[in-house]
Structure 1
Amino acid sequence: MRADHPLRAIRQLANESLAALQADFSALYSGMGRPLIPPERLLRAMLLQAFYSIRSERQLMERLDFDLLFRWFVGLGVDDPVWDHSTFSKNRDRLIEGDEAARFLSALLPQPRVKRLLSSEHFSVDGTLIEAWASMKSFKPEDGTGPGDPPTPGGRNADADFRSEKRSNETHASTTDPDARLYRKGPGMEAKLAFLSHALMENHSALLIDACGTRVSGHAERVAALAMIEAHADRSRSITLGADRGYDAADFVNERRSMNVRPHIAHNLTRAKGRSAIDGRTTRHAGYAASQRIRKRIEESFGWIKTVAGLERPMVRGVDHVGWGFTFAATAYNLVRLPKLMARVT
């Protein structure tokens, strides 16, 4: 492998973050029972899965079996046996229970080479739809009064006709993934079983500094934004938060101002009488236009996370698993961008 290969710098950054998590890793294991996959190797393998768009754990193990680059990055010797894909999945679930994705992201950002790239005053927030790994046929009445599935030959899925059936999250739930909710992204668009994932971006280098997943609702994006920006708010100095018009709500704007966070939010003029919670106190400043221009870069991270890292419709169920996967993919996105960003300032 050539000396300037991007994976060299990525592996060094990842190793420094993983070294800071050793105490957390030790707490996850009791030391009894069968030997488990070392967490640092498991997380490095999952990074490769995100970088190279490997769809399943089975395919990842097959790639590890013959690819020397993958073995070097993970920390496996040439003759070391590769894990069984089911063992890998079970060990990954243990990390999900320990919320190691958020800790991994948090351990990456304070590194001196990374911290100097980050802004502490200007941020952007946004949310994106993550389609659930569940069929619309699984969305059935919770009281069990709906029609039963007719028998089908050959093991095929039962036929279903939803045209005359009214379905809502108040009366129905997915039998495959009860955490998933029916959600329509916009007027005239198809409703899908989905989750919402949220990210907080710093505006200087467009790196993601926080991420989470939630169930879908009309106010989930604003609630998540409040939780993420609160850790960075400082009442002794003002910071800015850019966002799209979905965050243009009076309660959200007032809450931000009470925390000394200037809400650089796009006007939502589609509301009744075209009223917006953002007035001239905010829009008259040149920084407002800059925030509105830069905030759109967060869509680049969502595009990478969905298409390259495979989170458009992840093959996991439950809001905890989906949120963990999104946060981990956000860390992978930062690691992909960091070598070039660090090269610019050296």
Structure 2
Amino acid sequence: MMGMGKRRRKSQEELFVASGELAKSPGHAFYKRLNKLLTECDFDAAIERACEPYYKANRGRDSIAPGTYFRMLFVGYFEAIESQRGIAWRCADSLSLREFLGVKLTEATPDHSTLSKTRDRLPIGVHELAFRLVLAAAAERGLLKGKTLGVDSTTLEADAAMRSIVRKESGEDWKAYVKRLMQEAGEVTEDEEPTDEEIRRFDKKRKKKKVSNAEWESPTDPDARIAKLKDKRTHLAYKLEHAIDLDSELIVAAEVYHADHSDSQTLADTTMSARTHLAEAGREEVYEEVVADKGYHAAEQLELVQGLNVRTYVPEPERRGQSRLGEKPPEVQRAVKGNRRRTKTEKNSRLQRLRSERVERSFAHVCDTGGARRTRLRGIEKVRKQTLITAAARNLGLLMRKLFGIGKPRALQGLLGSLLNQLATALQAVIKLIRLVAARRSTGC
């Protein structure tokens, strides 16, 4: 038998608590193994050496360790938290995450403002180093193959609203702009002040109302561009482009461009970025092929990629009118014709299926279940830093899945159920086989 406990009323907090009396956490198996993996690849020491030039020695209070900063961003991916406030709250609330970050129970976890200041202090080169350290760790464990790249892009919703955009030439917001059009059309005089309903009615019926990035911008995030998102909404956005190793599904380049950059402008840059990341990570793998959809087809881009000794598999879209390929330089013609010949093979069909499946899966992991579909940062440089670390976290998840069978901490919750389902399926198959054998024996077959 046991007595029933009762909730105590709030009383004065104790002034001193012995460390032995503090609540202990058994830790989280996933984060313990992740910490062990980061230690094995010398992650913290390499990051701290790279960060030394951006801090002053023996001046002021020590900041958080750079390794702690990157771990908190990893937590944002693994826990599907899109905001820094949410990451800071989650880390402060969890004993197992405190252990993962290396924060004592007697210390406060870093605030969201500390994350912002640390991100602003550290340049993008340090974030690229963190990304490359994870790539090197994957390559050392035989996960990186280095032969075929798959490239595709998606949109990231920017932290700025369409209703806040202003005219570049005059600084007018949308309401003031439509009001001026009403005055020019004679709907109202300069002395009259139209109501919001009248402005909406006039704006709805006028023709040729297009919003151009050449004429409009966001005052809160000038780097964001007006674009159509995947769900067909028009919003301020950035363009995210992934280059992945089609064999291992590792992200070897995660580039952020302005949303008005078309796919046909960025293929060579992303391919070169993938090669640079591998070279800086100390790997000798050289990608021989790059696979993309027809939106990436541009003669000049194919020639640039061909100049890197990389074969392209980019389907050629149907074009209206006569081809003008004959007017281009001979090296461009050779690149286009070679790409056209390769896209007619069975190998191209197989590679395109792999690309559409695996690159889209990387976007699903990073943007949808990783909490990065909408960025909470303003400025393309900050978005690039966040994107690199989110891609590094996704690569860590793939590496953890290969080494330990679990790629995210929440997957442990469903592991027992998955094992039981597999066991039940196996038992059903055995029972079905026994019944089939018994039936055949009873019929004499």
TM over 0.5: same fold? Answer: yes
Partner of 1:167: 211
Aligned-pair CA distance for 1:77: 1.8
Is the CA contact (8 Å cut-off) linking 1:133 and 1:313 kept in structure 2? yes
Kindly tell me: are residues 266 and 82 of structure 1, through their superposed partners in 2, closer, same or farther at Cα, counting changes over 3 Å? Answer: same
Query: Are positions 1:304 and 2:304 aligned together?
Result: no
Query: Are positions 1:37 and 2:64 aligned together?
Result: yes
Q: Work out the CA distance in 2 between the residues paired with 1:87 and 1:118.
A: 34
Q: Work out the CA distance in 2 between the residues paired with 1:85 and 1:257.
A: 45
Indicate the SS of the match to 1:214: strand
Kindly tell me: are residues 87 and 147 of structure 1, through their superposed partners in 2, closer, same or farther at Cα, counting changes over 3 Å? Answer: closer
Match of 2:320 among 249, 260, 272: 272
Match of 2:343 among 269, 273, 283: 283
Match of 2:90 among 63, 70, 73: 63
1:258-297 Cα offsets, whole Å, 9 max, x none, are 322110123423x325979465531354432332122120
Partner of 2:303: 254
TM norm structure 2: 0.67
Aligned-pair CA distance for 1:185: 5.3
Indicate the SS of the match to 1:263: strand
Indicate the SS of the match to 2:166: strand
Query: Are positions 1:109 and 2:135 aligned together?
Result: yes
Partner of 1:222: 267
Aligned-pair CA distance for 1:245: 1.2
1:166-210 Cα offsets, whole Å, 9 max, x none, are 421111111111011112358x94432111111211111110012
Kindly tell me: are residues 272 and 228 of structure 1, through their superposed partners in 2, closer, same or farther at Cα, counting changes over 3 Å? Answer: farther
Q: Work out the CA distance in 1 between the residues paired with 2:312 and 2:148.
A: 11
1:145-186 Cα offsets, whole Å, 9 max, x none, are 636758xxxxxxx99745445421111111111011112358
Kindly tell me: are residues 308 and 109 of structure 1, through their superposed partners in 2, closer, same or farther at Cα, counting changes over 3 Å? Answer: same
- Read off the aligned partner of 1:178 and give its amino acid letter: P
Is the CA contact (8 Å cut-off) linking 2:226 and 2:235 kept in structure 1? yes
Q: Work out the CA distance in 2 between the residues paired with 1:129 and 1:223.
A: 19
Partner of 1:47: 74
RMSD (CA atoms): 3.1
Query: Are positions 1:85 and 2:112 aligned together?
Result: yes
- Read off the aligned partner of 2:354 and give its amino acid letter: I
- Read off the aligned partner of 1:181 and give its amino acid letter: R
Is the CA contact (8 Å cut-off) linking 1:126 and 1:221 kept in structure 2? no
Aligned-pair CA distance for 1:38: 1.1
Indicate the SS of the match to 1:302: helix
Report % sequence identity. 25
Higher fraction of strand:
1
Query: Are positions 1:12 and 2:33 aligned together?
Result: no
- Read off the aligned partner of 1:6 and give its amino acid letter: F
Higher fraction of helix:
2
Structure 1 window deviating more from structure 2 (200-209 vs 113-122): it is 113-122
Indicate the SS of the match to 1:212: strand
Query: Are positions 1:123 and 2:149 aligned together?
Result: yes
Q: Structure 1: where are the runs of 5+ without partners?
A: 151-157
Indicate the SS of the match to 1:129: strand
Partner of 2:158: 132
Partner of 1:321: 382
TM norm structure 1: 0.84
Partner of 1:195: 238
Aligned-pair CA distance for 1:68: 1.3
1:223-275 Cα offsets, whole Å, 9 max, x none, are 53243255479xx9871101111112222222222322110123423x32597
Q: Work out the CA distance in 2 between the residues paired with 1:90 and 1:171.
A: 33
Partner of 1:213: 256
Q: Work out the CA distance in 2 between the residues paired with 1:84 and 1:246.
A: 42
1:27-84 Cα offsets, whole Å, 9 max, x none, are 2212223321111111111211221022433333332233111011111122222233
Q: Work out the CA distance in 2 between the residues paired with 1:201 and 1:166.
A: 36
Q: Work out the CA distance in 1 between the residues paired with 2:81 and 2:91.
A: 11
Is the CA contact (8 Å cut-off) linking 2:218 and 2:224 kept in structure 1? yes
Q: Work out the CA distance in 2 between the residues paired with 1:146 and 1:113.
A: 53
Indicate the SS of the match to 1:130: strand
For the pair shown, which has the larger CA radius of gyration, 1 or 2? 2
Q: Structure 2: where are the runs of 5+ without partners?
A: 1-24, 177-195, 280-284, 326-335, 406-445
Kindly tell me: are residues 4 and 324 of structure 1, through their superposed partners in 2, closer, same or farther at Cα, counting changes over 3 Å? Answer: closer
Kindly tell me: are residues 70 and 258 of structure 1, through their superposed partners in 2, closer, same or farther at Cα, counting changes over 3 Å? Answer: same
Is the CA contact (8 Å cut-off) linking 1:214 and 1:220 kept in structure 2? no
Structure 1 window deviating more from structure 2 (122-131 vs 4-13): it is 4-13
1:97-132 Cα offsets, whole Å, 9 max, x none, are 343221111111122664511112211112211111
Kindly tell me: are residues 192 and 65 of structure 1, through their superposed partners in 2, closer, same or farther at Cα, counting changes over 3 Å? Answer: closer
Q: Work out the CA distance in 1 between the residues paired with 2:36 and 2:94.
A: 20
- Read off the aligned partner of 1:224 and give its amino acid letter: D
Kindly tell me: are residues 209 and 262 of structure 1, through their superposed partners in 2, closer, same or farther at Cα, counting changes over 3 Å? Answer: same
Is the CA contact (8 Å cut-off) linking 1:244 and 1:266 kept in structure 2? yes
Partner of 2:352: 292
Match of 2:226 among 161, 179, 182: 182
